[in-house]
Amino acid sequence: MRLKLSTLCIAATLALCASLTTGAQAATVASIAPSFAPNHAGVGTALTLGITFSNQQGAVPEPLTHMVVHLPAGLSINLRGIGTCSRAHLEKQLGHGCPASARVGSGSAQVGAHLGAINLNEHASLTAWRGPNQGGRSTLQILGIGLSPLEEHVVLSGVLEPDSAPYGQKLVMTVPPIPTLTGEANASVLHTSVTIGAARGRLGGLLRVPRTCPAHGFAFGGDFGYADASSSSTTATIPCP
């Protein structure tokens, strides 16, 4: 009987630890919201991707460290006439002096941090630039600039790589720390929205909607890693034209 009780206690303790560990790993979650404008088969388009991060316990989500954005099969990316701007230049000059042809999109982000008893929220502007090829693959640099209440800037770097079905390509990105105050925790991304390409004009041919659409729509996915070594994944679709 003592052995059975001891075994039950150990099992219960392990179950509780597993439950707590699972809860900690799943504390920060992400959702994505993609859209094409216009959404017509084979036409030049602007892709807007919104990503929202939240904490299941209502706290500030963990800082983001890396992410992989999965793009639908058949999405055409034409870089003819698109210039390049390096990460080093963006970090030092904040986009000034980069070729205008290298800018491929823009957007915004909301970041937050819990500093002692104060919740800090900051709005940042985003600009997207084509970077120099890396290992023969295209790269994307996203410059984020926040001015108030903290004056900070960061550059997210991504490499476009082949992907497996139902996706065609994936953007593998590293996210640097977003500092706040000396000795305090780094800020976390709460929401971000970036639009790449355009329906017409200089960026009109950068992206084209796939010519064929699967029955369930154009598939997107996201894998995210956080500062506490946890991770989360999510999927979304754009309806067929």
Look at residue 6 and tell me if it is in a domain.
no
Domain residue limits at 106: 28-238
Query: Tell me: the pLDDT tens digits for 133-157?
Result: 999 999 999 999 988 777 789 999 9
Write b or e for each residue in 130-155: b if 16 or more Cβ atoms lie within 10 A of its Cβ, otherwise e. Answer: bbeeeeeebbbbbbbebeeebeebbb
Reported as type and span, the H/E element at residue 14 is: helix 2-25
* DSSP line for 73-123: TT-EE--TT-----HHHHHHHTTTTS-GGGEEEEEEEEEEEEETTEEEEEE
Domain assignment present for residue 10? The answer is no
Within a domain: residue 21?
no
* CA atoms of 16 and 197, how far apart (whole Å): 49
Query: Would you say residue 2 lies in a domain?
Result: no
For residues 174-184, give the mean pLDDT: 85
Q: Given this model, what pLDDT does residue 184 score?
A: 79
CA 85 from chain centre, in angstroms, equals: 20
- Domain for residue 75, yes or no? yes
Q: What is the pLDDT of residues 1-34, one digit of tens each?
A: 333 333 333 333 333 343 333 344 458 999 999 9
Q: Can you tell me the mean pLDDT for 224-237?
A: 96
Query: Residue 63 has which token pair?
Result: 């800082």
Q: Does residue 5 fall inside a structural domain?
A: no
- Each residue of 193-224: b (16+ CB within 10 Å) or e? bbbbbbeeeebbbbbbbbeebeeebbbbbbbb
Determine contact, residues 153/146, Cβ cutoff 8 Å. yes
Asked if 185 contacts 163 with a C-beta cutoff of 8 angstroms, the reply is no
Query: What local confidence, expressed as pLDDT, does residue 42 receive?
Result: 96
pTM of the model: 0.86
Assigned domain for 9 exists? no
Whole-number pLDDT of residue 12: 37
pLDDT bucket at 59, cuts 50 / 70 / 90: confident
Distance, in Å, from the CA atom of 231 to the CA atom of 65, rounded to the nearest integer, reads 10
Tell me the C-alpha distance between 187 and 114, whole Å: 8
20 CB neighbour count, 10 Å cutoff:
10
Say if 3 falls within a structural domain: no
Instruction: Please state which of the ranges 57-71, 179-193, 206-220 shows the lowest mean pLDDT.
Output: 179-193
Q: Domains in the chain: how many in total? A: 1
Burial class (CB in 10 A: 0-12, 13-18, 19+), 86: middle
CA distance 241 to 229: 39
Place of tokens 């550059």: 155
Tokens of 67: 């992410």
* pLDDT of the residue at 147: 80
Give mean pLDDT, residues 146-169: 92
Residue whose tokens read 């982000």: 109
